[in-house]
Amino acid sequence: MQTNQGWALHTDKYQITMMYAHWKNGSHLKRKAFDLYFRKLPFGNGFAVFAGLERAIQYLENLRFTEEDIRYLADQPEHYDPSFLDLLREFRFTGDVYSMQEGTLAFPNEPLLRLEGTVMELQLVETALLNFIGYQTLIATKAARMRTVAENDLLLEFGSRRAQETDAALWGARAAYLAGFDGTSNLKAGEQFGIPTSGTHSHAWVQDFESELDAFRAFAKAFPDNAILLVDTYDTLKSGVPHAIQVGLELKKQGHNLAGIRLDSGDLAFLSKKARKMLDEAGLTDTKIVASSDLDEDTLLNLKSQGARVDSWGVGTRLITAYDQPSLGAVYKLVARDVDGQWQPTIKISSNPEKVTTPGVKTVHRIIDRDTGKARGDLITPAHKGLDEKRPLTLFHPVHTYRKKKVHHFRAVELLTPVIQKGQRQKDLPTLEEARRYHQQQRSLFWEEYLRLLNPEEYPVDLSKDLWETKQELIQNIYRQIREENGK
């Protein structure tokens, strides 16, 4: 469970190995900068929804090696020097974290977070940060796709029983809510994050009575104004819906209202239309229809296009497990080293141009057209230099540089802001409700072309000219060096 203590060993062994080797080398306190980002959007979506910061900050603020952790490390075959273990006993995160806000629409190759600090602390935290942010961003993005197709229908997260263990269920429920779900069935997520909770009943309730009608009556008696009856245990249209209507009418006579029925199998479009008609004809026009059963955004879209009469959708497995793409593939890359008090940019080359890192201590600006109020692109620039809104800006594609555009009347919103400085939190993070509202507002900054589910337009993420030049220079320097070493 996500207690705050004892997470220091939630890391890959090679982080401790590098920390030790740096310590032996006397370089463990040298300052570095790392970027956390992803390279490819999940699910073919046009954007990702940044999530996981709250969890990440809790982790960094409480990062300690417990005595048990130290004993465990002392027993490792590496036989770490006891003085190194003493250093770990005193370990605290003392670095700086610059981050996007949760709920921000994020795009490939732009830093979601930038961390500055000693190499020792920044290596230690890599694994956990990728774990938290990668998972939550993935689920928030999946949830956002469902929000798009569900339009104004209610979306309920039902996935805990199918999630990859406890944290995935809890933080996944939070990520889904952040990106527009309306509630969760997980009470712990409700308790911990204040997410509205709701639910119906299972087949076991119906099977446990002599008849379906008895089961519905007993349930309605317990919850006269908010019972949602599951109608597919035996036969939806011949048994479940008629019994629910009978109980609904009995409730009505007593001055109550049957809140809803739930369809959990069969042709959900056909059944929902039939059920709606039967309920309406019986005068139960306020009784809502909930649908569940292996739903995802594609099925949901399809069902809506078939005219399904569903008010509220319960979504489990395919949301909480990010069914069609189980990992975001986020990365955490060294981008600069402090050499004699100056940041020196560093690069990782790859034969795949998309995998070449962008060097330097950087920030991200969202360029918003003042005339339309819409985002024109994101611009990555060296950090701490600001961006002059009064001068026209030329944005160009970092690979196909001939693709350029000039932006005149814009405002630039810096997306990475300081959250932790010298290990101390700078401000309260937004509440989950605020982050959820912020996410909705952020969506309105983007043209539909970027938001659609299928084959969205690629949103521009560009490098400033100076950054682009630094990158080219570093690439050329490295190749020159390799040629020289090979005597060519």
Ligand X SMILES: O=C(O)c1cccnc1
Between 294 and 458, CB nearer to ligand X: 294
> Among residues 54, 264, 297, 378, which is the contact residue for ligand PRP, using CB under 6 A?
264
> Among residues 269, 315, 393, 435, which is the contact residue for ligand ATP, using CB under 6 A?
269
* Rg of the chain on CA atoms, in Å: 27
Which of ligand ATP, ligand X, ligand PRP, none binds 185 (CB below 5-8 Å, type-dependent)? Answer: ligand X
User: Using CA of residue 385, residue 386, residue 388, residue 394, what is the dihedral sign?
Assistant: positive
Between 137 and 292, CB nearer to ligand PRP: 292
Q: Residue 198: enclosing H or E segment and its boundaries?
A: none
How many angstroms separate the CA atoms of 408 and 454, rounded? 31
How many angstroms separate the CA atoms of 207 and 112, rounded? 49
Please report, as residue ranges, which positions from 227 to 266 form the binding site for ligand ATP (by CB under 6 A): 265-266
Select from 401, 404, 374 the least CA-distant residue to 392.
404
> Among residues 4, 27, 76, 202, which is the contact residue for ligand PRP, using CB under 6 A?
202
Which of ligand PRP, ligand X, ligand ATP, none binds 303 (CB below 5-8 Å, type-dependent)? Answer: ligand ATP
Q: What are phi and psi of 157, to 5 degrees?
A: -90, 120
Between 102 and 296, CB nearer to ligand ATP: 296
Tokens of 454: 């299928």
Between 264 and 462, CB nearer to ligand PRP: 264
Q: What are phi and psi of 397, to 5 degrees?
A: -65, 130
CB of 379 to ligand X, least distance (A): 44
Select from 255, 208, 204, 248 the least CA-distant residue to 228.
248
Pattern of binders to ligand PRP over 154-193, x per CB under 6 A? ----x--xx-------------------------------
Tokens of 20: 């030790």
Please report, as residue ranges, which positions from 302 to 321 form the binding site for ligand PRP (by CB under 6 A): 314-318
| Side chain identity, residue 338 | D
With CB under 6 A, what is the number of residues at the site for ligand PRP? Answer: 14
How many angstroms separate the CA atoms of 47 and 452, rounded? 10
Please report, as residue ranges, which positions from 305 to 324 form the binding site for ligand ATP (by CB under 6 A): 306
Alpha helices in 384-464 (DSSP H): 432-443, 448-451
Pattern of binders to ligand X over 244-273, x per CB under 6 A? ------------------x-----------
393-396 vs 404-407, strand pairing mode? antiparallel
Binding site for ligand X (CB under 6 A): 158, 185, 199-200, 262, 292, 314, 316
